[in-house]
């Protein structure tokens, strides 16, 4: 405030202070020297006490504690005027000084940037004056990271209408995060609106949608708006806001209809507008096609403990006495901010014994406030099927594989494929990285409380029993009802409890049965006929009774059973998809599979007595998985097993007596995974590498992705004398992978499809017996690479290409790059300067190379007896359209040595990056007098007219200075080279 100098603080000026909402007080060391300032401060504090005025102190080069306790220079200045004011006045001023110094403000030191300070103060005052400022949580633990990530995205979308979704389960702090973002950026927008609790408004107000539209328009336009219908409201939003840059937050949206009436189209808002939506249902955001979805996650343990401690103790850490109890409560809350806040506040200032009592109670009866918030998501589920899926997962399937659960619940008629997806979208269920279903502990408790409440309202109507006490009571007292759909009873392995099968007689609708270490006596015919899932750990009998009706079962899981045989007689189970008898140590043979047409997964892991797999397994046309891991007595597989074309995964690891996989395995067209380590198989069958769909292999010490393992497997078939490992290493280099094989016993035609499919296989070396076999293998390779494309088709295609589309392509191998550059440049210039539509390649010898040339895509030559090669250049002249170049169409280069009976195939990636190591590999396969053919294979996009090879001859006596430069400085030298090219090409 600025008062006229020399005037007293009269009544008018005092009323001015009363009319202020915010008072900024600047304290300095000399502040107490002014009675005016002290009288003004006294009035400011009075208004704060009476009207709630906001006081913002600035401590300008003075310690706040000196003002609070009137110490230091500030205290001395106050005492200096004690005689002028009297003790009573001084006492009042001391009191208001202490109270003012207790307010949170700004501590300004000499080295602080005052311009920045003024900006901060102005922003804070504006924020507090702004009526649209959203009230924030008292303890914003972990909030800043959420705010920063969302605002970071928004900052990059300033030129368009940006719609952002904040998604997560109830109680995670979605609304709090939206408020913090709104407070941070709302002053940038002339129009802004934050609509809270949209779900509640629509549930409690029959004019819900109209009310929301009116609030949106009134807040943004800053004038009262009345709307007669939703349709008119939509039109008004578009017409009134389409040219306005607005910030709009829609909180707790639960139905897409709520979005349609408020932000149905981006065109409704002006450029630069921001719309933020909080919801529990991510599908709403995807349906609206929002720009960015920010998923809220549970707090980590450290932040959870801090937030809980602020509410329970008023500080960032628990007191030492309550530390363990506090951590137990935090673990119960599972990182849910709402639970941490509610329970922390409830436990504040309570005794240790009360804490222990509350914690015990929470494990049985969840907190009402938290449950009420979480139940909103459950109540919002669309139909009874989604609710049934939710309740089933909560009681029986947490931690189970999603695909497994889906199969079972689909068998119950619940359409779980879409149902589980909906639960995930509503943040009620999660799927972990290993595809296991997970659920927040508090949601699980809420779910089970719903079941408990339903039975309280309707006695005898509890649909699912999962607490041991409840299940024991029903089975002991025979109090089961028709309402029971699922029952779980898990006893300790030392339990001696035994129940009568008769107890199940009245449970006609039971479909999910989960038992552990439970023994039943009596007639198994009393067990329900509607069972879809049987999980019975430690099944006590030696075989399943004939009158145990399983005709509708989808999954049978009898791990650790006492079964010797599954059934004495074959059973008709038309719907059975999953059979798991793992760890059944007495099981000697599998059942007859003839009447199990739907079986998809057969799991017999660790059945050490199993010695026979029934041959009817070959009839299972839908079987996807066989797991026989650690069946140590199993010595062979029935031949019929190889008929399983549908099989995707075969696991035989630890079957130490299985010594052979038949060649028939090639019939398994869809086999993608073969795991058979620690077996007696010594040699990988040739058929393994011919499997069309195989992706992962673990066999005979080879393990990994098939494309990485196959080269090593094929390498294992080669002749060690013909293909020393040292040669392989030097030839393969660092950038390529080499296969070298002996073709005495194998047909390359079978291997070519495999070799071409290996992405990292760049070079192949083949050893043959005779020249005829060599020619046949080369023809096989070229036919495979060309596919069905033949010379006639190539000629027909080439006849359509104009003759002037003639080009050359050179490949240099070895040292002396100068030669390669000179030769390539010379050929290019010769082609470019000639007016004759013919093929031009140097066909005569030159002091530094020997040339061999032929028509077509191959060339023959004999390695000279007295010739020390330092490299070679392969050159082709081809005909193609401008779109098809040699480097893009090149498939491979083959070098056939008819004298040594070898073929070396260099794939494209090797050819375009030949190095010195590659050259050493090539030269090691060549000797004086060897008859050699080089073949170049291209895709059908071009036609090779001529192919030439230039053998670079160079010895130590040749001075590199005399090598023709690829870039002659003198025009005369260039003309000499061009003339030379034209001459040897017989222009």
Q: Reduced to 3 states, what is the DSSP secondary structure of residue 432?
A: coil
Specify the higher pLDDT residue, 817 or 392.
392
Do the Cβ atoms of 308 and 328 come closer than 8 Å? Answer: no
288-297, 451-460, 688-697: segment of lowest average pLDDT:
451-460
Of the candidates 169, 178, 244, 258, the one whose C-alpha atom is nearest the C-alpha of residue 213 is 258
Residues 18-40 pLDDT 10s: 767 688 889 888 888 888 888 88
Both tokens of 765, joined, read: 């070396």
The conformation of residue 424, written as its DSSP 8-state character, comes to H
pLDDT at 847 over 70: no
Domain edges within the chain: 9-129, 144-295, 301-364, 371-451, 554-559+570-717, 738-784+805-986
b vs e for 641-670, b when ≥16 Cβ sit within 10 Å of the residue's Cβ? Answer: bbbbeebbbbbbbbbeebeebeeebbbbee
Q: Are strands 738-742 and 931-938 parallel, antiparallel or unpaired?
A: unpaired
Quick one: pLDDT at residue 778? Answer: 56
Could you give the CA distance from residue 284 to residue 255 in angstroms, rounded to a whole number?
7
Question: 576: closest CA among 534, 538, 546, 543?
Answer: 534
- According to the model, what pLDDT value does residue 492 have? 87
Evaluate if residue 41 carries a pLDDT over 80: yes
Fold for the domain defined by 144-295: Rossmann fold (3.40.50)
User: What pLDDT sits at residue 901?
Assistant: 76
CA 487, CA 466: separation in Å to the nearest integer? 6
What integer best gives the mean pLDDT of the chain? 80
pLDDT band for position 527 (cuts 50, 70, 90): very high
Q: In a 10 Å sphere around its CB, with 0-12 CB exposed, 13-18 middle and 19+ buried, how is residue 98 labelled?
A: middle
Q: For tokens 């040219």, what's the residue?
A: 243
**Structure-block tokens of residue 368:** 């009402």
Residue 884's nearest CA partner among 807, 936, 812 is 807
The whole-number average pLDDT for the span 508-532 is: 94
Q: What percentage of residues in the chain have a pLDDT greater than 70?
A: 79
pLDDT (0 to 100) of residue 460: 59
Task: For residue 501, give both structure tokens.
Answer: 């099968």
For residue 577, pLDDT over 60 is answered with yes
Q: How far apart are the first and last CA of the chain?
A: 102
pLDDT of residue 977: 32
Instruction: Spell out the CATH class of 9-129.
Output: alpha beta
Give 746's pLDDT tier (boundaries 50, 70, 90).
very low
pLDDT at 1 over 90: no
Q: Compute the distance between CA of residue 677 and CA of residue 655 in angstroms, rounded to an integer.
A: 8
Q: For residues 389 and 409, what is the distance between their CA atoms, to the nearest angstrom?
A: 7
Q: Which homologous superfamily is 554-559+570-717 in?
A: Ribonuclease Inhibitor (3.80.10.10)
What does the pLDDT read at residue 710?
Answer: 77
Per-residue pLDDT band at 792 (split at 50, 70, 90): very low
pLDDT digits (tens, 9 = 90+) for 860-874: 888 887 667 778 888
Which region among 332-346, 371-385, 817-831, 957-971 has the lowest average model confidence (pLDDT)?
957-971
Task: Please state, in angstroms and rounded to a whole number, the distance separating the CA atoms of residues 653 and 651.
Answer: 6
pLDDT in tens, 56-74: 888 888 888 888 888 888 8
Average pLDDT over residues 898-905: 78
Which comes out higher in pLDDT, residue 310 or 764? Answer: 310
Residue of higher predicted confidence among 500 and 134: 500
- What angle is formed at CA 361 by the lines to CA 360 and CA 365, rounded to 5 degrees? 135
| Candidate CATH numbers 1.10.8, 1.10.260, 1.10.3470, 3.90.550; the one for domain 301-364 | 1.10.8
Nearest Cα residue to 277 out of 233, 247, 298: 247
pLDDT band at 114 (very low <50, low <70, confident <90, very high): confident
Residues 386-391 have a mean pLDDT of 92
pLDDT at 725 over 50: no
Q: Which tokens in the block code for residue 692?
A: 């069309």
Q: How confident is the model at residue 744 (pLDDT cuts 50, 70, 90)?
A: very low
What is the structure's pLDDT at 970?
34
| 479, 473 Cβ separation under 8 angstroms | yes
Catalytically active residues are 40
| pLDDT for the residue 980 | 33
3-state secondary structure of 248: strand
Residue length, the chain? Answer: 987
Q: What is the mean pLDDT of residues 143-155?
A: 90
Q: Which of 4-13, 299-308, 477-486, 804-813 shows the lowest mean pLDDT across its residues?
A: 4-13
CA–CA dist 905, 768 (Å, integer)? 14
Q: Would you say the CATH fold of 554-559+570-717 matches that of 9-129? A: no
Tokens of 922: 């090539």
Which tokens sit at 326?
């506090």
Are the C-beta atoms of residues 809 and 886 closer than 8 Å to each other? yes
* Domain 371-451 CATH (choose: 1.10.10.10, 3.90.1150.10, 3.40.140.10, 1.10.760.10): 1.10.10.10
């Amino acid at each position: 405030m600025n008062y006229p100098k020399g005037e007293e603080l009269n009544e008018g000026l005092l009323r001015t202070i009363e009319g202020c909402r915010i008072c900024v007080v600047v304290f300095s060391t000399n502040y107490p020297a002014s009675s005016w300032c002290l009288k003004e401060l006294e009035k400011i504090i009075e208004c704060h006490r009476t009207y709630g005025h906001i006081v913002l102190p600035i401590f300008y080069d003075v310690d706040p504690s000196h003002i609070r306790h009137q110490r230091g220079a500030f205290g001395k200045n106050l005492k200096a005027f004690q005689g002028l004011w009297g003790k009573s006045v001084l006492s009042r001023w001391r009191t208001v000084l202490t109270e003012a110094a207790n307010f949170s403000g700004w501590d300004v030191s000499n080295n602080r940037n005052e311009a920045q300070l003024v900006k901060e103060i102005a922003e804070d005052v504006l924020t507090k004056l702004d009526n649209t400022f959203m009230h924030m949580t008292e303890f914003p633990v972990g909030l800043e990271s959420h705010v920063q990530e969302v605002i970071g995205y928004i900052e990059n979308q300033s030129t368009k209408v940006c719609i952002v979704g904040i998604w997560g389960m109830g109680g995670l702090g979605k609304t709090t995060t939206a408020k913090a973002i709104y407070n941070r950026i709302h002053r940038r927008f002339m129009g802004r609106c934050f609509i809270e609790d949209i779900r509640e408004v629509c549930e409690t107000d029959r004019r819900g949608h109209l009310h929301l539209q009116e609030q949106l328009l009134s807040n943004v336009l800053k004038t009262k708006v009345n709307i007669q219908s939703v349709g008119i409201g939509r039109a008004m939003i578009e017409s009134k806001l389409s040219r306005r840059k607005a910030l709009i937050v829609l909180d707790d949206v639960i139905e897409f209809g709520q979005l349609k009436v408020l932000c149905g189209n981006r065109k409704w808002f002006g450029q630069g507008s921001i719309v933020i939506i909080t919801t529990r249902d991510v599908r709403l955001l995807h349906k609206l096609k929002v720009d960015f979805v920010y998923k809220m996650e549970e707090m980590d343990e450290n932040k959870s403990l801090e937030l809980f401690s602020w509410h329970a103790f008023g500080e960032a850490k628990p007191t030492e006495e309550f530390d363990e109890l506090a951590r137990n409560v935090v673990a119960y809350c599972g990182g849910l901010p709402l639970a941490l806040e509610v329970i922390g506040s409830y436990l504040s200032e309570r005794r240790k014994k009360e804490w222990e009592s509350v914690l015990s109670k929470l494990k049985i009866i969840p907190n009402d406030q938290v449950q009420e918030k979480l139940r909103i998501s459950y109540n919002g589920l669309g139909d009874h099927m989604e609710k049934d899926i939710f309740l089933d997962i909560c009681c029986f399937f947490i931690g189970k594989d999603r695909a497994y659960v889906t199969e079972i619940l689909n068998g119950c008629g619940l359409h779980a494929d879409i149902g589980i997806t909906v639960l995930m979208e509503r943040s009620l269920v999660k799927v972990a990285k290993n595809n296991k279903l997970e659920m927040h502990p508090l949601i699980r408790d809420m779910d089970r409380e719903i079941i408990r409440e339903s039975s309280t309202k309707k006695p005898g109507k509890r649909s699912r029993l999962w607490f041991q006490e409840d299940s024991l009571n029903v089975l002991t007292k025979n109090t089961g009802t028709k309402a029971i759909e699922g029952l779980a009873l898990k006893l300790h392995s030392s339990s001696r409890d035994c129940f009568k099968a008769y107890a199940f007689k009245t449970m006609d609708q039971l479909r999910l049965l989960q038992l552990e270490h439970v023994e039943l006596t009596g007639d198994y015919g009393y067990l329900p006929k509607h069972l879809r899932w049987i999980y019975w750990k430690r099944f006590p009998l030696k075989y399943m009774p004939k009158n145990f009706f399983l005709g509708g079962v989808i999954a049978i899981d009898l791990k650790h059973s006492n079964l010797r045989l599954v059934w004495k007689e074959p059973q008709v189970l038309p719907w059975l998809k999953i059979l798991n008898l793992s760890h059944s140590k007495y099981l000697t043979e599998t059942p007859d599979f003839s009447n199990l047409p739907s079986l998809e997964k057969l799991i017999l892991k660790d059945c050490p007595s199993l010695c026979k797999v029934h041959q009817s397994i070959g009839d299972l046309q839908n079987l996807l998985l066989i797991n026989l891991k650690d069946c140590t007595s199993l010595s062979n597989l029935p031949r019929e097993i190889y008929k399983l074309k549908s099989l995707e995964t075969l696991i035989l690891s630890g079957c130490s007596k299985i010594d052979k996989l038949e060649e028939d395995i090639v019939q398994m067209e869809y086999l993608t995974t073969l795991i058979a380590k620690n077996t007696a198989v010594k040699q990988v069958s040739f058929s393994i590498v011919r499997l069309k769909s195989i992706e992962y292999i673990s066999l005979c010490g080879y393990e990994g992705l098939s494309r990485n393992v196959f080269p090593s497997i094929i390498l294992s078939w080669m002749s060690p004398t013909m293909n020393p490992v040292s040669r392989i290493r030097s030839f393969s280099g660092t950038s390529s992978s080499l296969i070298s094989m002996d073709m005495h016993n194998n047909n390359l035609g079978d291997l070519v499809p495999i070799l071409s499919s290996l992405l990292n296989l760049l070079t192949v070396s083949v050893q043959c017996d005779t020249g005829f076999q060599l020619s046949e293998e080369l023809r096989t390779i070229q036919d495979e690479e060309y596919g069905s494309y033949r010379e006639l088709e190539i000629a027909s295609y080439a006849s359509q290409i104009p003759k002037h589309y003639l080009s050359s392509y050179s490949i240099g191998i070895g040292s002396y790059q100068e030669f390669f550059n000179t030769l390539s440049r010379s050929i290019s210039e010769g082609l470019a300067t000639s007016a004759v539509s013919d093929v031009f390649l140097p066909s005569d010898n030159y002091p530094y190379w020997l040339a061999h040339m032929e028509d077509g895509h191959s060339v023959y030559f004999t390695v000279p007896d007295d010739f020390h090669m330092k490299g070679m250049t392969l050159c082709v002249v081809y005909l193609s359209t401008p779109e098809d170049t040699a480097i893009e169409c090149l498939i491979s280069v083959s070098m056939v040595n008819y004298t040594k009976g070898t073929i070396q195939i260099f794939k494209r990636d090797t050819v375009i990056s030949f190095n010195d190591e590659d050259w050493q590999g090539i030269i090691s396969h060549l000797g004086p007098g060897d008859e050699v053919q080089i073949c170049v294979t291209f895709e059908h996009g071009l036609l090779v007219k001529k192919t030439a090879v230039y053998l670079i001859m160079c010895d130590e006596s040749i001075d590199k200075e005399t090598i023709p430069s690829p870039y002659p400085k003198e025009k005369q030298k260039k003309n000499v080279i061009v003339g030379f090219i034209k001459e040897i090409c017989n222009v």
